[in-house]
């Protein structure tokens, strides 16, 4: 299970601050602030929802390296790496009401090579019947421009340690997260090593406006509701069809573009992958 960055951060903090002084200051906060008794009589009930991401190619489960696929341009390709960020998750109710997942547990890095990363467990969800979901593919500009040492940039968003650093999901020379990284081999690739590289980033620019490849995805649950109660956990299976990265509103060719990273054309890739998600089914546990 992938925990939220805030949770990770708090754990690290707890260990590093585990001193008598820290305990004393904890008591200070408690004892001097005189918390309102009403806090304890909060009637809001919450539960848990799971979002299971499954990367597929057409109608088959994606296999890293071993399987050769064919895109609509008639080019063969394998996938050696597929990572993308999912963030700013909102759950939508039948009546149009929206539950926004708190920012401190709304950032995830899906990695095809890491099964655990594909299962998002979101706690403290307001109970109710949900009929749709909205999320961002990528990391929004607010987090992108935060100081790297701020709490909001720890956990999964930590650019110096952990998955983001290990998977090089960050451009440090042009600071910003790589929202989606797709790499593999293709006989059509024009690179010396026969590989293709799609690294899609750009959040809109810090000091000057740049292109903005953040995309919001809105999905409706197919004829089924995701029920969240204090005891019932719904598991929403979201499929991402990698074929659609090549074959969406714009048909991409590995031969024409074996590397898409720092060009305007990356926006076509972002438009394509914004359409690769669909909700396959919901399991109620």
Contact residues for other proteins, defined by CB under 8 A: 16, 19-21, 24-25, 27-28, 30-32, 35, 40, 147-149, 158-162, 165-166, 168, 172-175, 202, 205-211, 262-264
Among 238, 246, 251, 241, which residue's Cα sits nearest to residue 281? 238
Whole-number Å distance between alpha carbons of 273 and 18: 44
φ, ψ (nearest 5 deg) of residue 182: -125, 125
Shortest CB 57 distance to other proteins, Å? 29
Nearer to other proteins, 174 or 190 (CB): 174
Nearer to other proteins, 42 or 116 (CB): 42
Nearer to other proteins, 66 or 193 (CB): 193
Which are the contacts of 97, defined by CB distance < 8 A and separation ≥ 6?
Answer: 128
Whole-number Å distance between alpha carbons of 269 and 5: 27
Shortest CB 36 distance to other proteins, Å? 12
Nearer to other proteins, 27 or 94 (CB): 27
Shortest CB 66 distance to other proteins, Å? 26
Whole-number Å distance between alpha carbons of 118 and 110: 5
Whole-number Å distance between alpha carbons of 156 and 6: 9
Which are the contacts of 181, defined by CB distance < 8 A and separation ≥ 6?
Answer: 81, 82, 83, 84, 167, 168, 169, 198, 199, 200
Nearer to other proteins, 124 or 220 (CB): 124
Provide the 3-class DSSP secondary structure of residue 177.
strand
Among 81, 77, 143, 72, which residue's Cα sits nearest to residue 107? 143
Shortest CB 47 distance to other proteins, Å? 21
Q: CA angle, 263 as apex, 144 and 164 as ends, to 5°?
A: 35
Nearer to other proteins, 130 or 179 (CB): 179
Shortest CB 124 distance to other proteins, Å? 16
Residue 31's CB: how many other CB atoms inside 10 A? 9
Nearer to other proteins, 102 or 204 (CB): 204
Shortest CB 163 distance to other proteins, Å? 9
Shortest CB 282 distance to other proteins, Å? 34
């Amino acid at each position: 299970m992938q925990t939220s960055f805030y949770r990770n951060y708090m754990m690290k903090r707890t260990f590093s601050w585990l001193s008598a002084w820290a305990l004393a200051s904890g008591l200070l906060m408690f004892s001097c602030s005189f918390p309102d008794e009403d806090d304890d009589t909060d009637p809001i009930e919450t539960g848990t929802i799971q979002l299971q991401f499954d990367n597929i190619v057409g109608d088959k489960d994606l296999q890293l390296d071993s399987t050769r696929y064919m895109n609509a341009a008639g080019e063969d390709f394998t996938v050696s790496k597929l990572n993308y960020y999912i963030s700013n998750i909102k759950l939508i109710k039948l009546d149009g009401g929206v539950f926004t997942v708190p920012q401190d547990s709304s950032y995830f890095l899906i990695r095809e090579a890491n099964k655990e990363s594909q299962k998002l467990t979101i706690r403290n969800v307001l109970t109710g019947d949900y009929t749709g979901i909205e999320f961002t593919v990528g990391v929004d500009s607010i987090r992108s421009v935060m100081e790297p040492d701020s709490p909001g940039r720890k956990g999964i968003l930590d650019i110096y340690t952990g998955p983001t650093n290990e998977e090089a999901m960050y451009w440090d020379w042009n600071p910003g997260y790589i929202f989606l990284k797709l790499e593999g081999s293709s006989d059509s690739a024009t690179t010396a090593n026969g590989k293709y590289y799609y690294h899609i980033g750009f959040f809109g620019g810090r000091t000057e406006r740049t292109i903005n490849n953040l995309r919001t995805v809105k999905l409706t649950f197919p004829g089924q509701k995701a029920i969240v109660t204090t005891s019932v956990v719904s598991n929403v299976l979201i499929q991402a069809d990698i074929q659609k990265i090549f074959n969406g509103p714009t048909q991409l060719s590995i031969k024409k573009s074996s590397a898409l990273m720092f060009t305007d054309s990356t926006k076509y890739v972002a438009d394509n992958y914004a359409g690769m998600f669909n909700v396959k089914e919901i399991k109620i546990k």
